[in-house]
Amino acid sequence: MTSTWTEPANTPLALLLLGQGTDPASERGVDCPGDLPAPSDPDLVARATAAKAALGDRVFVLGHHYQRDEVIQFADVTGDSFKLAREAAARPDAEFIVFCGVHFMAESADILTTSAQKVVLPDLAAGCSMADMAVLGQVETAWDQFTDLGIEGDIVPVTYMNSSADIKGFVGRNGGVVCTSSNAKRALDWAFEQGQKVFFLPDQHLGRNTAVLEMGLTLDDCVLYDPHKPNGGLTAEQLRDAKMILWRGHCSVHGRFTVESVREVRERVPGVNVIVHPECRHEVVRAADQVGSTEYIIKALEAAPAGSAWAVGTELNLVRRMALEHPDKRIMFLDRAVCYCSTMNRIDLPHLVWALEELVAGRVPNQITVDPDTAKYARVALDQMLALP
Ligand code: 13P
Ligand code: SF4
């Protein structure tokens, strides 16, 4: 008996999950003008290949390590957020930069590329929950508080790449720098040469892990600023005494790993090496054997001897790909409950095909543009990062 597969219709549940149009701002990306191919279309790979070939050198596709395999196969370059920012800046001849990653990365690419270049994010719903945890108004309120206390002149703001362009703009306007997980120590070294304190946004874990494990600061030197509490939940004395004022933000993917996951895998796999991303909690990083950015993790796994066992605490697409690429090594996910980054995963092959075919047709879909004033100051903070020794 033969049966024909048909695309499932929208169910009331799916519509409920999408908000049924009640909050369009939170539903960005659910609507793609034109025809979004069906995931079941057997020609998706051929269509993406043909569209990319038709665009030739006019398009450059960047792929973050957390992207799906179906997407990463079309990336001209893959990398962590630092490498991708540099790659975007180094391609002035590409008319279109298609960013297979998340919104804050595409914003940074727009800031670092020329005004003639257009940056495209195949699905506008590919945001980042960590970046959303620092909103400009909240950060300005905190800064006003520091000003009232008379300590703002001692503070250098440092923001993780995983933040919106307007947070980067705030940091650039106030003499700070952007950092990524691969240069956080160098950024903090630089910041402590400019001032006595650092205001670190938005990832408390990267800030704490770098300060305590790489710079010799103590946990007591760090305070946690909670934007949802009056005065950040801190006394004037705590703010005056602190060396690191950490914003209360975190990654919902890396926040899942626990010391218990480390203990459990060590028990189950004798001799296992535990390697984690610095967005993991402090106690998890302490319990691990190695810590580093996605690029660092990839290099460590590539260099590892055959037969060695690795439990990796980062996003699942990357861990799965590394396990498939190195069948001679035992590479496994650190936690038993698998976890993808849901927003990274929004970029799938149908959205990539749609974006490329729109470009072929002469339309620029989902262009990411940062307003000139924000871009000007964000660029100051990004250029400062790119100039770090
Ligand atoms: P890196 O690419 O800097 O390692 O960051 C990981 C991440 O969470 C990106 O969203
Ligand atoms: Fe944001 Fe975490 Fe996803 Fe990276 S992995 S995009 S920090 S939610």
Q: What is the pLDDT of residues 180-193, one digit of tens each?
A: 999 999 999 999 99
Q: What is the dihedral of CA 253, 259, 264, 267, to 10 degrees?
A: 140
Choice from 164, 279, 280 to test ligand 1 binding pocket (greatest atom count within 8 A of CB): 279
- CA nearest to 122, candidates 137, 108, 105: 105
Q: Does pLDDT of 349 surpass 90?
A: yes
Give the closest residue (by CA) to ligand 2 atom 2. 251
Q: How far is CA 149 from CA 153, 176, 202, 237, in A?
A: 10, 20, 22, 10
Q: With a 6 A CB cut-off, is 108 part of the ligand 1 pocket?
A: no
Output the CA 224–ligand 2 centroid distance in Å.
20
**CATH classification of 43-129+343-369 is 3.40.50.10800, yes or no?**
yes
CB atoms within 10 A of CB 49: 15
Q: What is the dihedral of CA 267, 273, 278, 281, to 10 degrees?
A: 10
Give the strand pairing for 197-201 and 77-79: unpaired
3-state SS assignment for residue 205 = helix
- Hey, where are the domains in the chain? 43-129+343-369, 131-251, 254-333
Ligand that comes closest to the CA of residue 129: 2
Confidence of residue 35 (pLDDT cuts 50, 70, 90): confident
* Architecture of the structural domain at 131-251: 3-Layer(aba) Sandwich (3.40)
Q: With a 6 A CB cut-off, is 293 part of the ligand 1 pocket?
A: yes
* Architecture of the structural domain at 254-333: 3-Layer(aba) Sandwich (3.40)
Q: Does pLDDT of 7 surpass 90?
A: no
What's the whole-number mean pLDDT along residues 272-295? 97
Q: Which ligand 1 atom sits closest to the C-alpha of 253?
A: 8
The reported pLDDT for the residue numbered 68 is 95
The reported pLDDT for the residue numbered 32 is 64
Confidence of residue 34 (pLDDT cuts 50, 70, 90): low
Q: Does pLDDT of 16 surpass 50?
A: no
Give the closest residue (by CA) to ligand 1 atom 9. 81
Ligand 2 pocket, CB under 6 A: 66, 102, 128-130, 162, 251-253, 315, 341, 343-344
Q: Does pLDDT of 87 surpass 60?
A: yes
Strand partners, 247: 225
C-alpha to C-alpha distance for 203 and 279, rounded to whole angstroms: 7
Confidence of residue 267 (pLDDT cuts 50, 70, 90): very high
Annotated binding-site members for iminosuccinate: 64, 81, 160-162, 181, 277-279, 294
The reported pLDDT for the residue numbered 389 is 86
Give the strand pairing for 309-313 and 273-276: parallel
Give the closest residue (by CA) to ligand 2 atom 7. 251
The reported pLDDT for the residue numbered 21 is 54
Q: Does pLDDT of 5 surpass 70?
A: no
pLDDT one-digit tens code per residue, 184-233: 999 999 999 999 999 999 999 999 999 999 999 999 999 999 999 999 99
What is the per-residue DSSP string for 271-287?
Answer: TPEEEE-TTS-HHHHHH
What's the whole-number mean pLDDT along residues 240-263? 96
Give the strand pairing for 177-179 and 197-201: unpaired
Same fold: 131-251 with 254-333: yes
The reported pLDDT for the residue numbered 85 is 85
The DSSP call for residue 184 is H
